[in-house]
Every structure is written in C-alpha cells, then in structure tokens.
Chain A
C-alpha cells in the first residue's frame, strides 16, 4: 500500500546522544518535508527536499541535518540531542499538489 512511514514512533533518549529519525515513502514523490510540531500546535517546517541530493533548511531554525540519497528515503539526524529538541517530528511527501503526512516520531530528550 502506498504510504509514508516513520520509525521509531516513540523515542526517549538522554542529552548528548546522536539520533536518526527515519522516513520513507512508497508513493514515488520527489518532494519531501520535515516538520516539528508540539501537540496540537503549529506545524514548523525545518527541512525540505525536492529530489535526490537536494536539501534545504526550512523556516524554523533547527540543529538537525537531513540527507536525500534515495527518492523514497529522507532521514533526519540530531548530532547531539538536548531537552529543547523534545517534540513531535512529522515527515511528509508531496506529489503535484496533495501532501501526505507520516504518523510522526514523538521524541523526548531527558
């Protein structure tokens, strides 16, 4: 089934750890995005990609990095997690117009 997947769904880690949040989609979309969202609050765009080897920073400053080596895969990496990174991270992909969201990763940094 064509969908967008994120792993892990929940993650609790200690300060200073390096983490990678995985996102993959099976819809063949070129455009992919990462959003940071506190529960029920605004969606903040932190990274986006328009295709393989294309990545850009979004509107919200973030200490994370992304890569796009394959069309279907768009991982987000935090080199050194801090409590301020505690939030939900939503991955999304977009075809011509319609944008689909993944189920999200809820990250807690202690």
Chain B
C-alpha cells in the first residue's frame, strides 16, 4: 500500500518568513495530493490540493509543488503570519476506492 513520509515534524519561523513542508510517497499510481491544516482543537481543513497532471498550484500565500519522478510534493507558505500556526498534514491517494494516506504531520509555529 501507499506510504507517505512528512518532514519536518516541527518548524518554527519568524513572522514574514517562508515555510516549506515536504512529503514523499511510495505508490507511483497515486494521483491526488491534498494538504490539510488543523488548528488546536479544530478539525483538519483542506487548504490546497494538486493532481498529478499539474506540477504546481498557487492560492494566495500558499503553493504546492509536485515532482512525480521523484515522488515528492511540498507545501510552501510565504509571508507567514501568526494565524498560520497549526499542524499541517499531507496526504496521497489514487482515484476511486483508495483511501487517503496521511503523513505524520508538521507542527508549524510562527513567532510574532
């Protein structure tokens, strides 16, 4: 089955700096890669996703890049703000019946 590894497990940045979280996956058949943000005491919320036919996707300060050859994808947050502080999870799956496989999470702390 699919295996997703996520790094780093914790990340501390100064407000205004950029943050990068990286994930690798094992199953070359995976073609959907979402990122979730989970604030303290809240449910995970989808913040951005990418499909395997696209190399990069941006939404305001957030971007995701995908390298299918190397089987890794990354989340980039620019101009970080204290409200970006949360746990971020990457995930991967194929289409159809396959469940999402989640990474182990990255705790991002943005220092004011």
| Chain-B contact segment, one of A16-24, A37-45, A77-85 | A37-45
Identify which of A31, A97, A102, A104 contacts B32 (C-beta below 8 A).
Answer: A97
B34 to chain A, nearest CB (A): 7
Tell me if B44 and A103 are in contact (CB < 8 A): no
> What size tier do the contact residues of chain B reach?
20 to 34
CA distance A42 to B100 in the complex (A): 13
Tell me if B43 and A40 are in contact (CB < 8 A): no
CA distance A2 to B30 in the complex (A): 28
Asked if B99 is an interface residue, CB under 8 A from chain A, the answer is yes
Residues of chain A within 8 A (CB-CB) of B91 are 99
Tell me if A40 and B105 are in contact (CB < 8 A): yes
Asked if B70 is an interface residue, CB under 8 A from chain A, the answer is no
Tell me if B43 and A98 are in contact (CB < 8 A): no
> What size tier do the contact residues of chain A reach?
20 to 34
Within 8 A of A (CB), among B32-52: 32, 34, 36, 38, 40-46, 49, 51
Tell me if A101 and B44 are in contact (CB < 8 A): yes
Residues of chain B within 8 A (CB-CB) of A94 are 100
Tell me if B107 and A40 are in contact (CB < 8 A): yes
CB-nearest residue of chain A relative to B89? A43
Asked if A90 is an interface residue, CB under 8 A from chain B, the answer is yes
Residue ranges of A at the interface with B (Cβ–Cβ < 8 Å): 31, 33, 39-43, 45, 48, 50, 58, 90, 94, 96-104
12 contacts between A and B (CB under 8 A): A31-B97, A31-B99, A39-B41, A42-B102, A58-B99, A96-B95, A97-B32, A99-B46, A99-B100, A101-B43, A101-B45, A103-B43
Given A33-B99, A90-B44, 15 new contacts (CB under 8 A):
A31-B97, A40-B38, A40-B87, A40-B107, A41-B105, A42-B102, A42-B105, A43-B44, A58-B99, A97-B32, A98-B34, A99-B46, A99-B91, A100-B46, A103-B42
Residue ranges of B at the interface with A (Cβ–Cβ < 8 Å): 32, 34, 36, 38, 40-46, 49, 51, 87, 89, 91, 95, 97, 99-100, 102, 104-105, 107
